[in-house]
Structure 1
Amino acid sequence: MDEKLIGQAMRQLQIFAAMVYFAPEYDEELGAAGLAPGVMCYFGGRAAPMGAVPASMVHATFYNFNPERVREHIPRVWELASPVKLIEARLVAADRALKRMLGPEVLGSPRVAEAADLARRAASEADTEGRPLAASHQELEWPEEPHMVLWQGVAILREHRGDGHIAALVDAGLGGLQSMVSHSATRAGFLPSFAQSHRGWSEEQWNTAVGELCERGLVDAAGDITERGSAVRARVEADTDRLAAVPWRALGAEGTQRLTEIGCELSGELVAAGCLPSEGVFFPR
């Protein structure tokens, strides 16, 4: 299978799962479970499938957060709400958000049921050795409604790809902060201001990382990506696609293409419904 097709599939699908972290329902449901809104909810909901793990484990698996930001909330999160309770709250939040933005007609459609079957098949075949977030998500019980099966399947595939992406970053010699700075320098994804503040890095720490990358020739003095930096980031993405291949091979090229098509349609509808912040977070497309 063409590994570029694998990368395209996940880029089209991931909004279906990732939208929950931007939805107001997420802070509402995890807040009702006992957490403070914002990054505490993010840490708690996403890490909960791993159990009441220490801050070092969350930092290792989330990778590009300042470890001090993580320690501000972990293990306090587990004192406020159990992982089981947070897993349930995240599912409720995802269900509410999808129903609000897409409605029963879309969520009850044959294409969502078809996509759910494909995503579950791929996620169930995901190789999880050396992939703690994917492994823990794969162990969760499957929901009953097709749109939530699709949500959970995409969430597993997203964490599977993310675990492999970290391995590729480590191999490229890009630590958590350097990976965030270099990705922002490509002008794809988070704006530097949001990446820095949300991940908990100070201006001094961010600028130090820019200097380190500049010495390696990966960014220029202004912090923009260089030709060499673009090549390194392209290699990371290619390695990530290669490492993410196993669950997609289970679907084959035809199944992968079909899930990508449906995922693209649903992601477009979610974006049109306002699932992502309109400004201040992402570079304009």
Structure 2
Amino acid sequence: MDQQYRNYGYARHCAQAVNALHSIPYFTADLADEVAPFGITDHSSVYLAGRASALGPVDPAVVAAVFNSFAPRLISERIPTLWDQISPERALRARENAVAAALERLLGTGIVRSAELSEAAKLATVAAQAGALPGRPLYAANSALDLPERPHVALWHAATVLREHRGDGHVAVLDHFELTGVDSLVIDCSSSHGMAKEIVMPMRGWTEDEWSAGRERLADRGLVDAGGELTPRGAALRDEVEAETGRLDRRPYEALGPANVERLARYVHRTVGIAADAGVFPPPLRGFFAPTADVWNAL
């Protein structure tokens, strides 16, 4: 098999693995416990306290713009009120405390304090520091934060920086293809690779009417059929969006080099699998965030 394809495959799987690692604190009670004393209790507000805090006390329109796939209404109902309850600086400390507790519990002290994890954190940090800043607000905001001292938190932080680098690029690609946030979710949920609509739509704050309007826009473009299934044209566009997102995300992995990308990808994939086996992801989402080792067979 062509080595360039193998290298791309490892980079793609590495991006998937670091995204899953980044998501872990949002599936545990640790972050909710950290912010509960500030009167923050609903799941969406907890999520925003964790993920939007790196941006500082910006207007809800800014958060909606950079998050993209979340309904602006969900965000404006919580921000800026959220920052009256907890400052972004305090929310960032809560996030770091939650990450530290969740990973140590899920992975075990032996893994958290291992030389292998420390090495993975160093590799991920090298990659995270090599991304492109222009047009990437969430990547820039997280990159500007101090690097955590504890290796397992540093690994999570680097995974988050890498996740936001790819995510910011993905938003740019969607805009290029004139796909709104809800449009992109409808396409993804209509494919065999996405989550179920019943999970995604309420989690991102969209109404049934808004979702249907997105589906109608896509149908007018010939991207979904009357039943809401992806057409061949829609599937091809989804593949093109993913390919372009990967192309714009290549700098961190080029900086790391093929051998280290493979090492990091395999380690983070295995680490996420341990957390998944510990029950961090709900059963319907386990395969989405932590696919089996068979993903490597095609490389």
| TM-score where L is the length of structure 2 | 0.91
Alignment partner for residue 80 of structure 2, among 67, 75, 78? 75
* Residues 1:28 and 2:43 aligned together: no
Instruction: Give the superposition deviation at 1:3.
Output: 3.7
Listed as ranges, the matches of 1:157-168 within 5 Å are 157-168=162-173
* Residues 1:6 and 2:38 aligned together: no
Which amino acid is the alignment partner of residue 150 of structure 1?
L
Listed as ranges, the gaps of 5+ residues in structure 2 are 292-299
CA contact (8 A) 2:18 2:160 kept: no
Alignment partner for residue 187 of structure 1, among 192, 200, 213? 192
Deviates more, 1:180-189 or 1:113-122: 180-189
Which amino acid is the alignment partner of residue 85 of structure 1?
R
Instruction: Give the superposition deviation at 1:134.
Output: 0.3
| 2:231 equivalent in structure 1 | 226
Give the SS at the match of 1:7. Answer: helix
* Residues 1:262 and 2:267 aligned together: yes
| 2:242 equivalent in structure 1 | 237
Tell me the alpha carbon deviations over residues 113-163 of structure 1, each in whole angstroms, 9 at most, x when there is no partner: 110110111111222111000000001111111111101000100000000
Alignment partner for residue 108 of structure 1, among 106, 113, 136? 113
Give the SS at the match of 2:284. Answer: coil
Distance in 2, matches of 1:62 and 1:42, equals 12
Which amino acid is the alignment partner of residue 136 of structure 2?
R
Which amino acid is the alignment partner of residue 240 of structure 1?
T
Tell me the alpha carbon deviations over residues 181-215 of structure 1, each in whole angstroms, 9 at most, x when there is no partner: 11111132321012111111111111121111111
| 1:66 equivalent in structure 2 | 71
Give the SS at the match of 2:153. Answer: helix
Give the SS at the match of 1:239. Answer: helix
Distance in 1, matches of 2:286 and 2:203, equals 10
CA contact (8 A) 1:59 1:70 kept: yes
CA contact (8 A) 1:187 1:283 kept: no
| 2:295 equivalent in structure 1 | none
Percentage of pairs with the same residue: 35
Distance in 2, matches of 1:282 and 1:257, equals 21
Distance in 2, matches of 1:140 and 1:247, equals 18
Instruction: Give the superposition deviation at 1:217.
Output: 1.2
| 1:53 equivalent in structure 2 | 58
Which amino acid is the alignment partner of residue 177 of structure 2?
A
CA contact (8 A) 1:30 1:45 kept: no
CA contact (8 A) 2:54 2:142 kept: yes
Alignment partner for residue 156 of structure 1, among 154, 158, 161? 161
Alignment partner for residue 24 of structure 2, among 4, 19, 23? 19
| 1:205 equivalent in structure 2 | 210
Tell me the alpha carbon deviations over residues 226-274 of structure 1, each in whole angstroms, 9 at most, x when there is no partner: 1111110101100111101111111111111110110111111111111
Distance in 2, matches of 1:245 and 1:66, equals 29
Instruction: Give the superposition deviation at 1:35.
Output: 1.9
Distance in 2, matches of 1:7 and 1:56, equals 31
Instruction: Give the superposition deviation at 1:280.
Output: 7.7
CA contact (8 A) 1:214 1:221 kept: yes
Paired residues in the alignment total 285
Instruction: Give the superposition deviation at 1:282.
Output: 7.8
Distance in 2, matches of 1:265 and 1:8, equals 12
Alignment partner for residue 134 of structure 2, among 126, 129, 134? 129
CA distance 1:280–1:252, change in 2 (3 Å): closer
Give the SS at the match of 1:255. Answer: helix
| TM-score where L is the length of structure 1 | 0.95
CA contact (8 A) 1:31 1:37 kept: no
* Aligned-pair Cα RMSD in Å: 1.7
Which amino acid is the alignment partner of residue 41 of structure 2?
A
| 2:174 equivalent in structure 1 | 169
Give the SS at the match of 2:118. Answer: helix
